[in-house]
Structure 1
Amino acid sequence: MQKTVLNDCHRRSGARMVDFGGWEMPLHYGSQIEEHHAVRRDAGMFDVSHMCAVDIEGDDAAAFLRRLIANNIDKLKVSGKALYSAMLNEDGGVIDDLIVYFFDDRNYRMVINAGTAEKDLAWMGARLDDRQLAVTLTARRQGAGALAMIAVQGPNARQKVWDALPGCRAACEPLKPFFAAVSGELLIARTGYTGEDGYEIALPADQADGLWQALAAAGVRPCGLGARDTLRLEAGMNLYGQDMDETVSPLDAGLAWTVDLLAPRDFVGKTALLAKPRRHQFLGLVLRDRGVLRAHQRVISSHGDGEITSGSFSPTMQQAIALARLPLAVAIGDSVEVAIRDKLLAARVVKPCFVRNGNILV
């Protein structure tokens, strides 16, 4: 398995390590539930250095991204602004979901998922070869330019980052959500994957251990993949490989808001999306009966069957919740049944954001 630069740090902290897409990563440091609550109520930090930052530079960088991703980078006008989108294949399936940061028309940074990084880079390289564009792609994973990434999330996350890194406050305190700022060698983005406020910090890999220790001294709790998954599920955020993949259209995965079909520009997969309109809704479920919701369970409605894509027990709500692809005629508030082994359990259909900023929304 591959290891992040913080691997020894996790082991010193007593983390239970697991294989996550070929990376040895912390599942938890003793209590997944306590880590989840720490993020909802105070501040927690995650090692996300397994994700891959790719610098996209050159005279044709903007033209390359206009063609590569489904969202429209022409929306990016202010340096530091971020955009969430997806790379699609020619059939309109999702190769990966990602974030692009804009610095100027020649300089962007894309953050892609760990498990898809090699596939993504090969796809991007092939698209460059197709059009002979003046663009350089630099994956910031190895060598002198390697980056680590630490996400600090929770209602007190920003203050505790300023306590640990007092020199960064002037640059990052004014940031609005989905903006980033450079502070010395750090790129600090007001983004996250938990439904809470906070920062995602990219920094030289050899500085990661020091920052992790400084954040811990400031009262930020180390958190693992277990809490990260329940937090993102409560926030209604997709996980690549479960909620979408290369066989699933973003229109069927609740990602229509990340696709710009109106602008005249063409992008890979646009023709397929126009030819194959949305076939499913992507909605949330709250289980009314006792049980646990899991991926691939069948959902039975009066309008036909659907399928759960992600499910778990919500520590904040103390109920089982899920994300699901359902027939288009299903409405929020409807009652459905979930087939769990030999039983049909009742569930309620809700808007797929269960918890945000510590508040239960359903």
Structure 2
Amino acid sequence: MLKKTILNAAHRALNARMVDFGGWDMPVNYGSQIEEHNAVRTDCGMFDVSHMCPVDVVGADCRAFLSRLVANDVAKLTVSGKALYSAMLNEAGGVIDDLIIYFLTDTRFRIVVNAGTAEKDLAWMQAKAAEWKMDVTLTQRRDGDNALGIIAVQGPNARAKVWSVLPQAKAAIADLKPFFAAEVDQYFIASTGYTGEDGYEIMMPAAEADSLWNALKDAGVAPCGLGARDTLRLEAGMNLYGQDMDETVSPLDAGLAWTVAMKDERDFVGRAALAANGQQQQFLGLVLLDKGVLRGHQKVITQQGDGEITSGTFSPTLQQSIALARLPLNVQIGDEVSVDIRGKLLKAKVTKPVFARNGKAVQ
């Protein structure tokens, strides 16, 4: 049986097209995926992301625990509300999950992990806490009496729309910088989006999610499904766990070297493997020059050797097919390569792995 978020009935009331997304019954669109995509780029849209799993980390050893657990350095978190993006690695240097860590106090952090990896992630974290004899308590906030709903509101008008619906929060969140969060009454409001647009991710008690969703809809915020979420994140060059990385892929080969802090002597799970293996491939963008659609697992043929597309789609903003790909280290931005699409070799140009941000194409 598929799992359902607290907003499942709201999606069905809007006649959303529902699909099985990693065991969750989720809306892929509410009519037009392209219109939903464009709403976020030009105005404002919202996504139900309550299938994501917040995990509260509480205890005297929070910092020491997280310092060893993830590849980025939580020592960077010195201001309450600041967030950090990182990969959590296995001993071989593969990505167990990519996640966001919010610093609240020295004894209280919040982590948000991906929907499909939540049980695995929590088991891994608990095992490491026990192995290292750390004074931390890990509490998932997706299921049960203390569950949280999560609604992402994204787009150039997202802030104003949220302020109109939650006027009591405006003073605390109006000037919220990217990758920060604020706690306002029962709301946890963050600026850590996944679309390349401005906006907020709002966590609230699950019982409050339906009323907030409807209030945002009444304020003119367009409901958006997983289809638009994927084209938006791909245009913004943002990785998707399970497609662009997994437990067999190093963050160095997934374009996430910037999230790996190895300049100091801090030990973390997977560090030794990263140091020993180094970077094997580079993570770059592709824009298709011929007619066709780029998709995951298509072979990319370059003069330096073969690579592979990890995510591909048609970009509504660029009106061209785009992709993220792992390519040989000597491939250069601007190179022309070939992509094998059902036996036909089509031309593509290598680009930086960001295609659109803030409503505009950047390629």
Confirm or deny a common fold (TM above 0.5).
yes
The structural deviation recorded for 1:174 is 1.5
Counterpart of 2:250 in structure 1 is 249
Q: Distance in 2 between matches of 1:210 and 1:250?
A: 39
1:94-150, CA deviations, whole angstroms, 9 ceiling, x for partnerless residues? 000000000111100000000000000111111011111110000002222110000
Partner of 2:113 in structure 1?
112
Match of 1:194 in 2: 195
What is the rounded CA distance, in whole Å, between the counterparts of 2:280 and 2:359 in structure 1?
33
TM-score by length of 1: 0.99
Q: What's the counterpart of residue 137 of structure 2?
A: 136
* CA–CA separation in structure 1 for the residues paired with 2:28 and 2:318: 21
For 1:271 and 1:142, how far apart are their aligned partners in 2?
36
Distance 2:168 2:107 in 1: 28
**Distance in 2, Cα, partners of 1:296 & 1:250:** 18
For 1:294 and 1:231, the matched residues in 2 are separated by: 15
Which amino acid counterpart does residue 291 of structure 1 have in structure 2?
A: G
What 5-or-longer segments of structure 2 have no aligned partner?
Answer: none
Answer with 244-253 or 174-183: which moved more.
174-183
Partner of 1:25: 26
Instruction: Find the counterpart in structure 1 of residue 149 from structure 2.
Output: 148
2:264 is aligned to: 263
1:281-360 matches, within 5 Å, as: 281-360=282-361
Size of the aligned set, in residue pairs, is: 362
Quote the Cα distance in structure 1 between the aligned partners of 2:276 and 2:51.
36
Identity %: 69
**1:342 Cα deviation from its structure 2 partner:** 1.7
Which residue number in structure 2 is paired with residue 62 of structure 1?
A: 63
Deviations 1:71-91 (CA, angstroms, capped at 9, x unpaired): 000000000000000100000
What is the identity, as a one-letter code, of the residue corresponding to 1:214? Answer: A
The residue aligned with 1:121 is: 122
Q: Supply the distance in 2 between the matched residues of 1:26 and 1:61 (Cα, whole angstroms).
A: 36
Q: How does 1:212-251 map to 2 (within 5 A)?
A: 212-251=213-252
Deviations 1:297-351 (A, max 9, x none): 0000111110000000001111000000000000100000000112100000000
TM-score, structure 2 length as denominator?
A: 0.99
Amino acid paired to 1:360: A
Following TM superposition, the consecutive aligned residue runs of length 4 or more in structure 1 with deviations greater than 3 angstroms are none
Q: Distance between the aligned counterparts of 1:293 and 1:45, measured in 2?
A: 27
Which residue number corresponds to residue 176 of structure 1? 177
Offset at residue 359 of structure 1 (A): 1.4
Map Cα deviations across residues 178-229 of structure 1 (whole Å, 9 max, x no partner): 0101110101001110000000001000000000011011110000000000
CA distance in 1, matches of 2:240, 2:143: 25
Corresponding residue SS for 2:209:
helix
Structure 1: 5+ residue stretches without partners: none
